[in-house]
Structure 1
Amino acid sequence: MAMATMASSPIFFSKSRSCSSTSYNKRVLPQRVAAVASIPFQQPINVDYLEQEFSGHGVIFKGIGDDCVAKMSLDNGSKAILMLQSGLIASYKASMWHGGTVELLQSSVSQEANAIQGGVSVALECLTLNLGEEQVSWSPSKWGLHNIIGNPQDSIQVELISTDSHDMVQVKYIVTLQDDALISQLMVSNNSDSSSLQLSGCILSHLTVSSPDATFAVGLERSDFFGRLPILTSSAIVPPEYGQKSESQFSQLWKQLAWGPRNGHQTETERQEEEEEEGEMEEGEEHDNYKNLREQMCRIYTSAPRDFTIIDRGRRNSVVIGRDGFEELYMFSPGSSHEYYGEYAYVCIGQSAVLNPIILGPKESWTGGQRLHNPNP
């Protein structure tokens, strides 16, 4: 499929008039609901207040400098750690058949940025489309705790709301911990009466493995794909060899590929460079239904199934990854040249809207999410 065809093809997205619960939930969440206490972005967060307001739901809070983490724990042993202000899920320990738990996410502390990288993160770009007016572009980056429901016997749901959203747009991020799954869900509502909204971005998950050499993606046979440079965000873990290009060059390329030209304007040089980069992109169809991820690779699959499996023979573990709302699957492997069980022993899976942004008309809503299912309890 040629790139020109891809760019002009219809944009696929799911719409709804209301922000309903994710279709991934296998059960109705318990009726015990905490009083909604929308906590605006503030430094530092009042941990004592959060403990008192949301006690009894299987969540404890711990302050880390000016930030705060929410530790979610179920009675079956499954646990998750959510950074409240950044929305990054730093840890997901899934309950296993042997009675213990296994960490499924790869995360690390960036000394330069003094922040957690890896885990599960959101990278979303919102662009208002006003005919005859200047376009406004912004990205949700700070989140406030809005609500918590559930209990440790069944499931726990933490709802965050963007605190830097424009008045005409509401962005919610919902993290649900179940006995055998971790669900990340974005819910975006365009409250404008006249303006459309364009959404681009992804939910990125760094899955820890023994080594990409022992890791396989199962179920992607006959899926079309485009080769890309790795998505570079503040939360992405990228091996040092990708630093041969400067961060500004990576960021510029990512914006061109993901968000498109800013405000619809490009210089002749920028347009020529983008055409050259697109001409060098790998394009093809996946022929292997049991694909080994030992080679360094970065792709966006445009026709992948809604569910597929990552198997790690070294850890004797597997994760079933499902998506909802997003039509694209992003996959990045740093390759197997790195140390086993080391910093770069991971594969990055993302549910994305990069090649085809999502368009929301006035008063329309969209829901998209990812489910990490643990089939090994």
Structure 2
Amino acid sequence: MAAFCTPAATTAPHATPAPLTRPWKHIALCHFSKLGSGGSQRTRLVSAAPQVRAVAPATAAEEAAGPSPINVEYLSAEFAGHGVSFEAVGISCAVKMALRNGSVAHLLLPSGLVTSYKPAMWHGSVTEVLHTSVAAGHGGRAVIRGGVSVDLHCAGGDGGWSPSGAWSLRDVRGNPTTSIEIELASAAPGDAAEARCVVTLHPEALATELSATNNAASSSPMALSCTVSNHLRVSTPDATYALGLQGSDYRSVEPALSEFSIIPPDYGAARQSAAGKARHRLSNKGFDMVLSGGQAHGAAGEPDGEEDDDYKHMTEEMCRVYSHAPREFTIIDRGRRNSICLHRRGFEELYVFSPGSQYQWYGKYAYVVVGPAMLEPVVLRPGDKWQGAQYLRNPNL
């Protein structure tokens, strides 16, 4: 997978010219959560890394005023010439990447949600591999869910922080021939922590590379949790298979909920609880309950089972976190004659969710969700930096 590993996000940002409708150094609507007690939980320590300068947070006046439209004209002028274009979508902005081999991807600002990935296929055209839904939200605004989303949380003794919904465009690199990189950045209030996200469109893959740095001057560590959810479009889960999970341990969980999750309203209504089998619920902030330790692991920390099928059929309702899983596995959809390979780096576990096949073929709930996850937090001491990545590889060329 070395061919898909783009360079670390170290390029300095473009200079900020005068007056924008919204400042380039914009941070908005940070979500906070308390650090779970988790006194008995195991943790993974990361080595110290040079500190990275954080993007300045929004002022109190900016936060009180609420989100304002992104200056699309400025972005178009500042980042032209890299194979990208910008389009206003309400108060948001769609960043469109297009390569000369036909592959395209769309990313939404400031949410950082990847809403479309259409790789070039063997038949000479492109095919959408991501699943999204659009619904009406408060004030008539469109709410987009699905796609590729990042759920990252940093928690410490003074509270917590997440860059969700508060990404700023930091840089655009590359060209339409080789690859296009979109670098996003976000910072906690007071610059205590910083997160970077680099989304790269390659001719044969879509990469999401992440980093988080503890910039705190005090000696307080931070507990970092992160998942990347990929809503993959399929004809129906009944025609969909996961290849390569045989021998992996798994724990059954409830679907992880975030602002971008698509969960059928009646999911689990027909399921009956198996006597003596623990169901480990996840909180509405993704994997927070798992990260709080103890309850999610059971008395002895044993998994619910071991996957015995190397050609796992996704037809039934299922939601699992796999451990000791291979770094790369493949989702095959026989109905759409399509497949996608998922490779991960820096994540120990794998999240797999299927809503089941009782829904309409090619409909609103014709999708499966897969992505790298953490069953335990990574502890960041001041100055420490964590890095992780996933690669959606197109094997259909």
* TM-score, length basis structure 2: 0.77
Give, in whole Å, the separation in 1 of the partners of 2:134 and 2:341: 27
Kindly state the Cα deviation for residue 195 of structure 1 after the two structures are TM-superposed.
Answer: 2.0
CA contact (8 A) 2:290 2:296 kept: no
CA contact (8 A) 1:309 1:320 kept: yes
CA contact (8 A) 1:209 1:345 kept: yes
Matched, 1:220 2:245: yes
Matched, 1:151 2:171: no
Kindly state the Cα deviation for residue 169 of structure 1 after the two structures are TM-superposed.
Answer: 0.8
Kindly state the Cα deviation for residue 10 of structure 1 after the two structures are TM-superposed.
Answer: 4.5
Matched, 1:184 2:208: yes
Matched, 1:140 2:163: yes
1:232-255, CA deviations, whole angstroms, 9 ceiling, x for partnerless residues? Answer: 1110000111387xxxx9745856
Kindly state the Cα deviation for residue 11 of structure 1 after the two structures are TM-superposed.
Answer: 3.4
More strand by share: 1
1:213-236, CA deviations, whole angstroms, 9 ceiling, x for partnerless residues? Answer: 011100011000100000011100
Secondary structure (helix, strand or coil) at the match of 1:52 reads: helix
Matched, 1:370 2:387: no
Secondary structure (helix, strand or coil) at the match of 2:266 reads: helix
Give the letter for the 2:49 counterpart.
R
1:266 is matched with which residue?
Answer: none
Following superposition of structure 1 onto structure 2, how do residues 244-283 of structure 1 map, counting pairs within 5 Å?
251=283, 257-260=289-292, 283=304
Following superposition of structure 1 onto structure 2, how do residues 71-220 of structure 1 map, counting pairs within 5 Å?
71-112=96-137, 114-129=142-157, 135-141=158-164, 142-164=166-188, 166-193=190-217, 194-220=219-245
Kindly state the Cα deviation for residue 110 of structure 1 after the two structures are TM-superposed.
Answer: 2.4
Which portions of structure 1, spanning 4 or more consecutive aligned residues, are displaced by more than 3 angstroms? 6-16, 37-42, 163-166, 249-256, 274-279
1:132 is matched with which residue?
Answer: none
Query: Higher mean Cα deviation, 198-207 or 156-165?
Result: 156-165
Give the letter for the 1:128 counterpart.
G
Give, in whole Å, the separation in 1 of the partners of 2:355 and 2:366: 8
**Identity within the alignment, %:** 45
1:31-80, CA deviations, whole angstroms, 9 ceiling, x for partnerless residues? Answer: xxxxxx99979621111111111111011000111111100000000000
Give the letter for the 2:362 counterpart.
Y
Task: Decide whether aligned partners of structure 1 residues 172 and 256 sit closer, same or farther in structure 2, where only a CA change above 3 A counts.
Answer: closer
Give, in whole Å, the separation in 2 of the partners of 1:110 and 1:278: 41
CA contact (8 A) 2:147 2:232 kept: yes
Kindly state the Cα deviation for residue 361 of structure 1 after the two structures are TM-superposed.
Answer: 1.5
Kindly state the Cα deviation for residue 17 of structure 1 after the two structures are TM-superposed.
Answer: 2.2
Kindly state the Cα deviation for residue 257 of structure 1 after the two structures are TM-superposed.
Answer: 1.8
Kindly state the Cα deviation for residue 369 of structure 1 after the two structures are TM-superposed.
Answer: 1.4
Following superposition of structure 1 onto structure 2, how do residues 26-37 of structure 1 map, counting pairs within 5 Å?
none
Give the letter for the 1:17 counterpart.
A
Q: Which residue of the other structure, out of 287, 305, 318, is the alignment partner of 2:339? A: 318
**How many pairs align?**
334
More helix by share: 1
CA contact (8 A) 1:118 1:205 kept: yes
1:105-155, CA deviations, whole angstroms, 9 ceiling, x for partnerless residues? Answer: 0001122463110000011111124xxxxx311221211100010000110
CA contact (8 A) 1:216 1:293 kept: yes
1:147-204, CA deviations, whole angstroms, 9 ceiling, x for partnerless residues? Answer: 0100001100000111555512111111000001001121101122422111113111
Q: Which residue of the other structure, out of 308, 313, 317, is the alignment partner of 2:329? A: 308
Give the letter for the 2:197 counterpart.
Y
1:261-287, CA deviations, whole angstroms, 9 ceiling, x for partnerless residues? Answer: 8xxxxxxxxx9xx589989x9711000
Give, in whole Å, the separation in 1 of the partners of 2:198 and 2:261: 20
Kindly state the Cα deviation for residue 16 of structure 1 after the two structures are TM-superposed.
Answer: 6.5
Task: Decide whether aligned partners of structure 1 residues 159 and 336 sit closer, same or farther in structure 2, where only a CA change above 3 A counts.
Answer: same
CA contact (8 A) 1:45 1:68 kept: yes
CA contact (8 A) 1:181 1:372 kept: yes
Give the letter for the 1:57 counterpart.
H
Task: Decide whether aligned partners of structure 1 residues 100 and 49 sit closer, same or farther in structure 2, where only a CA change above 3 A counts.
Answer: same
Task: Decide whether aligned partners of structure 1 residues 166 and 298 sit closer, same or farther in structure 2, where only a CA change above 3 A counts.
Answer: farther
Kindly state the Cα deviation for residue 91 of structure 1 after the two structures are TM-superposed.
Answer: 0.3
Task: Decide whether aligned partners of structure 1 residues 243 and 289 sit closer, same or farther in structure 2, where only a CA change above 3 A counts.
Answer: closer
Kindly state the Cα deviation for residue 8 of structure 1 after the two structures are TM-superposed.
Answer: 5.7
Task: Decide whether aligned partners of structure 1 residues 243 and 215 sit closer, same or farther in structure 2, where only a CA change above 3 A counts.
Answer: closer
Unaligned runs of 5+ in 2: 1-37, 270-280
Give, in whole Å, the separation in 2 of the partners of 1:67 and 1:196: 34
Secondary structure (helix, strand or coil) at the match of 2:376 reads: strand
